[in-house]
């Protein structure tokens, strides 16, 4: 067995560094699309590192602000299953007044050690960038996943929508959106409700997330819905909104479409840019070709003419009955506290 070890310097104190390594809202900034963790010995953790790839296992040891030991592995992997290896992360004060973070990954075969070395190098560099600038930027590894399915596309869409939600301000709450009669805040609430309904249709209703930022609440609702749909047989049927049995594949297609379109609505309302890969947009457009016509006049309006310079995402929005809002200059967008 092989052990991988690497240390990086962060320009933040040990408590802040430990928070970046263990708190879900901070993990989302550099390593995960969604994350949950019970920060105690014997607790569980689970986070989607990139769409379709989920690290999970047990928290074996915790020394708050200083050290955490995880049983590390991947759902669906035979080579490194959950708890199949050990990751130890130690945080120490550095001579420069920041922190030194040392990661040790033990219990790997030579092949897996090489693979994980590439992954840890990528994410530790993102951790350094996050600590130094407050923004690690979009993760290129989450940009255009291979082997797209409705759940993988939904995770990729969520990763793209999260920076938009993070950028919302109090001033954005009442701004109009492309959804008639919906403000920016209304769209966020509607998306959370829709994700809850989709989770319930997949047989796993949960509590509505009502606390935290818009990003926290949408991420929580989306993670729950995606996990629920990951367990559904795509060849089977599930009860639709009116109780009638519908093809599971049809309703699963709604999941990424809801996140993409309502993420676009929020971006339009708040004057931000939703950056989504053409691969994910193209896959979602394929799903929309079936879903949207079946719900015209209810969930979707009539198709509108996209502008000549519309992006693939803009054309998808137009197909779903949405018209772009007038572009506002940065000075027209008042910055305030994050909503």
* Residues across the chain: 339
Kindly state the average pLDDT of the residues 121-133. 97
Report yes or no on 214 lying in a domain: yes
Please write the tens of the pLDDT for every residue from 244-300: 899 999 999 999 999 999 999 999 999 999 999 999 999 999 999 999 999 898 889
- On the 0-12 / 13-18 / 19+ scale of CB atoms within 10 A, 166 is middle
My answer on whether 147 and 128 are in the same domain is no
- The CATH number given to whatever domain includes residue 70 is 3.30.530.20
Band (144; pLDDT cuts 50, 70, 90): very high
pLDDT mean across residues, the chain: 93
My answer on whether 232 and 88 are in the same domain is no
My answer on whether 51 and 152 are in the same domain is no
> Which range is least confidently modeled, 21-30, 144-153, 295-304?
295-304
Domain hosting residue 224, numbered range: 143-332
Q: Is 79 helix (H, G, I), strand (E, B) or coil?
A: coil
Report yes or no on 138 lying in a domain: no
- Between CA 275 and CA 254 the distance in angstroms is 20
Report yes or no on 337 lying in a domain: no
Residue 145 above 90 pLDDT? Answer: yes
My answer on whether 59 and 83 are in the same domain is yes
Of 107, 133, 159, the domain-final residue: 133
DSSP assignment of 132-168 equals: HHS-----GGGTS-SS--HHHHHHHHHHHHHHHHHT-
Report angle CA 141, 143, 145 to the nearest 5 degrees.
Answer: 80
> Which range is least confidently modeled, 30-34, 128-132, 291-295?
291-295
- Supply the DSSP symbol for 74: B
The pLDDT score that the predictor gives to residue 333 is 47
My answer on whether 121 and 154 are in the same domain is no
My answer on whether 97 and 153 are in the same domain is no
Report yes or no on 202 lying in a domain: yes
My answer on whether 157 and 305 are in the same domain is yes
My answer on whether 27 and 151 are in the same domain is no
Report yes or no on 302 lying in a domain: yes
- Orientation angle between helical segments 278-294 and 248-270, nearest 10 degrees: 110
Of 86, 105, 133, the domain-final residue: 133
Please write the tens of the pLDDT for every residue from 184-228: 999 999 999 999 999 999 999 888 999 899 999 999 999 999 999
Percentage of the chain exceeding pLDDT 90? 86
My answer on whether 171 and 278 are in the same domain is yes
- The CATH number given to whatever domain includes residue 267 is 1.20.120
Report yes or no on 266 lying in a domain: yes
Q: Which of 207, 218, 198, 229 has its CA nearest to residue 52? A: 229
My answer on whether 236 and 87 are in the same domain is no
Please write the tens of the pLDDT for every residue from 43-54: 999 999 999 999
Report yes or no on 241 lying in a domain: yes
Of 103, 133, 163, the domain-final residue: 133
Q: What are phi and psi of 116, to 5 degrees?
A: -70, -30
Report yes or no on 338 lying in a domain: no
My answer on whether 274 and 129 are in the same domain is no
My answer on whether 190 and 78 are in the same domain is no
Is the whole-model pTM more than 0.85?
yes
Structural domains of the chain, count: 2
């Amino acid at each position: 067995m092989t052990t991988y070890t690497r240390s990086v310097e962060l320009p933040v104190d040990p408590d802040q560094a430990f928070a970046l390594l263990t708190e879900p809202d901070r993990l989302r900034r550099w390593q995960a699309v969604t994350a949950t963790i019970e920060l105690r010995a014997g607790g569980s953790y689970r986070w989607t590192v990139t769409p379709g790839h989920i690290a999970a296992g047990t928290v074996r040891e915790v020394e708050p602000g200083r050290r955490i030991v995880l049983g590390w592995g991947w759902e669906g992997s035979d080579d490194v299953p959950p708890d199949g290896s050990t990751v130890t992360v130690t945080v120490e004060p550095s001579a420069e007044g920041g922190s030194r973070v040392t990661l040790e990954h033990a219990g790997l075969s030579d092949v897996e050690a090489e693979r994980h070395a590439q992954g840890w190098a990528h994410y530790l560099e993102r951790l350094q960038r996050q600590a130094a600038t407050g923004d690690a930027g979009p993760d290129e590894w989450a940009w255009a996943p291979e082997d797209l399915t409705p759940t993988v596309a939904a995770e990729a869409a969520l990763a793209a929508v999260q920076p938009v939600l993070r950028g919302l301000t109090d001033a954005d709450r009442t701004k109009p959106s492309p959804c008639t009669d919906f403000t920016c805040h209304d769209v966020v609430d509607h998306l959370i409700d829709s994700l809850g309904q989709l989770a319930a249709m997949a047989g796993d209703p949960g509590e509505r997330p009502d606390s935290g930022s818009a990003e926290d609440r949408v991420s929580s609702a989306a993670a729950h819905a995606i996990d629920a749909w990951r367990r559904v047989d795509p060849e089977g049927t599930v009860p639709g909104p009116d109780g009638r049995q519908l093809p599971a594949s049809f309703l699963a297609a709604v999941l990424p479409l809801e996140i993409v379109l309502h993420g676009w609505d929020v971006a339009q309302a708040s004057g931000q840019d939703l950056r989504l890969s053409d691969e994910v947009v193209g896959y979602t457009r394929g799903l929309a070709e079936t879903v949207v016509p079946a719900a015209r006049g209810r969930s979707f309006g009539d198709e509108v003419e996209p502008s000549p310079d519309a992006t693939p995402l803009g054309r998808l929005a137009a197909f779903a009955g949405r018209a772009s809002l007038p572009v506002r200059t940065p000075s027209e967008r008042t910055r305030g506290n994050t909503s």
